[in-house]
Structure 1
Amino acid sequence: MADLSLLQDDLQDTDGLGVDDYSSESDVIVIPSALDFVSQDEMLTPLGRLDKYAASENVFNRQMVARSLLDTLREVCDDERDCIAVLERISRLADDSEPTVRAELMEQVPHIALFCQENRPSIPYAFSKYLLPIVVRYLADQNNQVRKTSQAALLALLEQELIERFDVETKVCPVLIELTAPDSNDDVKTEAVAIMCKMAPMVGKDITERLILPRFCEMCCDCRMFHVRKVCAANFGDICSVVGQQATEEMLLPRFFQLCSDNVWGVRKACAECFMAVSCATCQEIRRTKLSALFINLISDPSRWVRQAAFQSLGPFISTFANPSSSGQYFKEESKSSEDMSEGKNRYNFKTLFSSFPICEHSFHHLIINTLFRELTTSELYFR
């Protein structure tokens, strides 16, 4: 097609010269077609194509390289040296100055990590050496999109158990603790606290209690940023569930009392919403003597939004006082509802019952609530 178009142009030349004027081979002009470039790429090895487009000045080409990394690994998976070469190029691509390229790369990391796990004999320690450092480094990236993508990737990797326990302790947790330091960037600190809270159920009690809990307690008292305190309050119940009763009562409850008295209503509202989970992690005596009075304070809060959240948590909180042996009621924390454990007994859903309790603005509603809790804390009335 290129030769025909050239011939047509020559015939229409204004000089009136014929085809014979271009009989010499040196005068023939060859116009390359798109097919020529395709054939050139097909002649390249997978690593050659990777190098060619990774060095391109076109951002779209570099994005395509990041998107096709998994396919490249599959092509060379039979050769350990080629696999390592691809992983080394991933490390170089991670230094790209364009945020969209870095974000695209991070989206592929969980898939590449899973591939490395499945082909562990061919690529030993590939994830720990080449991929995990990129994930934790991007947690502090200046670009918000890159940070969000790395946070999602980290949680996905933890959920799929693709990160070794040793790496969690030595590579992930130290970075998160560093990002929550007092001199850290405000946005980065808030996001790091949220990640620590979300990963706690995935890494288990031991790591959470040793590495995450001390910094979490510090963040609950962050005087400068209420956003950090709000994140801590919103995830307080999850942390309590992970570390258990002793750590909750000794280390977390004092912080919870402070958060429930915070001068920002959003923090107090978050405390009201997680009150049931905190109650589940304490003994009956603590619920009677401390948490019941604290909950009454939230129900009497000056903020309408805090009061509303407290009333919605009233039923779930009361259900934590139930004695299954005498009432037949058992509070199933996972589904946040009361379940009947005995086939012959009535089934009640206390969350539904008390969540629909009308928010009374009259002063005597304090008396009603106080009377209710006095019955709970001074008698053996456990929903018989």
Structure 2
Amino acid sequence: MPNEVLLAAASVLALSTVAQAQQAQQYDAVLKAHAQLPAQTFLPAPADAPVSLGMAGRFTSGTRVETPYGWANPASGIAMPFPGQPLQGMSGIRSLGGDRFLLLTDNGFGNKANSADAMLMFNILRMDWETGTVAIEKTTFLSDPDRVVPFPIVTEHSESRYLTGADFDPESIQPVGDHFWIGDEFGPWLIEVNADGVVQQVVKTNPGGIDYKSPDNQFTAQPGAGATVTGINTGRSGGYEGMAVSEDGTTLYPLLEKPFFDEEAATLETIDGKPVLRLLEFNVADANWSDTIRYYPLEDASHAIGDFNIIEGTRALIIERDNGEGDDGREGAAAFKRIYLVDLADADGQGVLRKIAYIDLMNIQDPDGVAPAAR
């Protein structure tokens, strides 16, 4: 059964039959249903977690704040630290069918330095399209009690060894059998966990014998003043953002969020002058990288991808977006958000995927008044 794709709690018209044209063909985006989870949804830390994980957000102000709700973020007005762990915001999604979705919670509050008290987790959520509500079916916190993670973690000296947003930055998730594979941005790493969230393996990225490393990689030393940085070829927040899985569950397709940095050329990777993102292949059974690399072409060098799922066969949907948000006319407001249809079997001689069709998420039609603002 093809995967369903949900973005902003909306389902969109399927792009299942499209014309084979050189230019990506635009199709209407029509809102069919809408469900929302309150932004301030919090979960208690597990009973065996360190006491310090009973609150989250202590370090978001630039200093330590131990009083609950003792500091208000001037950008949002929301006070922190939070009692408990915030379930929002989400960084990865995968349909499980039957209105059930696998949702991955991001690493916390934006970076390693301020997310050491944010617990890593994924949830299974059930959407009720009639009432527009979301039910939390199951929460799974990530942990490393068997000491598989190859570097010290925040809770290194605890027995439960729960993982936090200072350890990994999880951005994409796929179920394979009764286990889950997670794409991380810090390494970038691939992480396999079992159904209980216990780490089984942490795999470094080295297709073709080339180590992929970001500035946040735990085995990257920071240079001294005036020194040249070497061995850094994925940008900060440029590791795995989307990751698809083949229908038979044998192959993962991790996709970088930002262009690869070519150290020899000292420039971000382009093909025929167009910025591209590397799409890799990983064999699940033997945990080995394929030498095959495909390239997703960006419409603009400032863009990034959001999520990536195969919907049928080798056909997949990829979210491409700018870094803007909001629509109130302010500087930095959102201007480009699209979902593109590609086919992993449809690439040119250089491995660049062809964009077949797209829908414009900046122009979602709502003729039936489904969105809450229209009610």
Higher RCO structure (Cα 8 Å, ≥6 apart)? 2
Q: TM-score, normalised by structure 1?
A: 0.23
Q: Which has the higher helix share?
A: 1
